[in-house]
């Protein structure tokens, strides 16, 4: 039915992106929760991903792994939609029917992520606080109200610099590697029924590379959003003083798994849906 509507192509891209984001968020939320818990451990503690995972299940039961899924949905459903619709609009405006090169792909991905990241940052802050286990918010709306009343509206934009330093390079690098590896696939694979699987594999490779490059910024972002009185520079200094350089890579494994799988799934679903409704992604 989506393909039969007269909606603007950017709106269709928004709807396709939102659906792809919903699927990936529900599936990979536990990895995001474990990543946040690892990043907010007390200094000096040395535990692994599996230990944290088992601890959450033991103390908060299995549904505890999906704590923070409500703000994740509130952020991801419109956020991924905004990202893909912005990406589609920018690509149509600047490249039309041409395929962007490596630099063009970086600019497209980074530009789309900047718009979505700034717009959805307040929900990202609430999501991080839900996952860290230090706050007892009952709902997303209640959390937003509580932060505004006790800390001021500015707290909802804490970690903006670190978030953009993480998300903009991630998206730019991801789109570059993803588009370039896809373009290098043999035409018989791209036109075959196995094309979605091939695209997913390209997304996995791109996601791993982008995650490793942007991991330090993610660690800083988490500390600033959990401790809103802490500035970005202070968070960078604190992490280094407490744990050294390796401290910036705490939670790297679950984050890389989640970001890689989410991005690969989101892009695969998005492109299949866009092709189904007759639009070039």
pLDDT in tens, 93-114: 898 778 888 999 999 999 999 9
Average pLDDT, rounded, for the chain: 86
Q: Does the structure show a pLDDT above 80 at 281?
A: no
pLDDT in tens, 170-196: 999 999 999 999 888 888 887 788 888
| pLDDT for the residue numbered 113 | 95
pTM attached to this predicted model: 0.75
Q: Does the structure show a pLDDT above 70 at 43?
A: no
Mean pLDDT of 127-143: 80
Number of neighbouring beta carbons within 10 Å of residue 231: 15
pLDDT in tens, 253-262: 888 888 888 8
**Which are the contacts of 46, defined by CB distance < 8 A and separation ≥ 6?**
none
Give domain limits for the chain.
Answer: 7-276
Q: What is the CATH number of domain 7-276?
A: 1.50.40.10
Mean pLDDT of 125-150: 83
Token pair in block for residue 255: 């984050």
Token pair in block for residue 271: 């492109």
Number of neighbouring beta carbons within 10 Å of residue 192: 13
| Angle (CA) 88 94 96, round 5° | 70
Token pair in block for residue 133: 């286990």
| pLDDT for the residue numbered 44 | 66
pLDDT in tens, 195-219: 888 889 999 999 998 998 889 988 8
- CA-nearest of 94, 97, 125 to 111 is 94
CA distance 195 to 252: 29
């Amino acid at each position: 039915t989506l393909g039969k509507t007269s909606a603007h192509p950017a709106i269709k891209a928004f709807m396709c992106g939102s659906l792809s984001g919903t699927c990936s968020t529900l599936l990979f939320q536990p990895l995001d929760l474990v990543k946040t818990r690892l990043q907010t451990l007390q200094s000096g503690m040395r535990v692994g991903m599996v230990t944290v995972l088992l601890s959450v299940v033991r103390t908060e039961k299995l549904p505890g792994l999906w704590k923070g899924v409500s703000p994740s949905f509130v952020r991801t459903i419109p956020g991924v939609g905004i990202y893909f619709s912005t990406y589609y609009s920018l690509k149509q405006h600047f490249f039309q029917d041409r395929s962007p090169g490596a630099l063009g792909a970086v600019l497209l991905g980074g530009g789309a992520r900047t718009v979505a990241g700034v717009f959805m940052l307040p929900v990202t802050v609430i999501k991080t606080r839900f996952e860290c286990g230090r706050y007892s918010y009952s709902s997303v709306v209640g959390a937003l109200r509580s932060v505004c009343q006790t800390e001021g509206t500015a707290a909802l934009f804490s970690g903006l610099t670190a978030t953009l330093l993480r998300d903009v390079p991630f998206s730019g690098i991801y789109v570059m590697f993803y588009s370039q590896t896809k373009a290098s696939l043999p035409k018989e694979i791209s036109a075959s029924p196995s094309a979605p699987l091939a695209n997913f594999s390209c997304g996995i490779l791109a996601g791993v590379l982008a995650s490793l490059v942007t991991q330090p910024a993610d660690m800083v972002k988490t500390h600033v959003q959990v401790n809103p009185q802490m500035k970005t520079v202070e968070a960078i200094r604190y992490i280094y003083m407490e744990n050294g350089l390796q401290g910036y890579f705490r939670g790297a494994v679950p984050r890389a798994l989640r970001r890689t799988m989410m991005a690969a799934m989101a892009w695969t679903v998005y492109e299949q849906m866009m092709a189904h409704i007759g639009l070039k992604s």
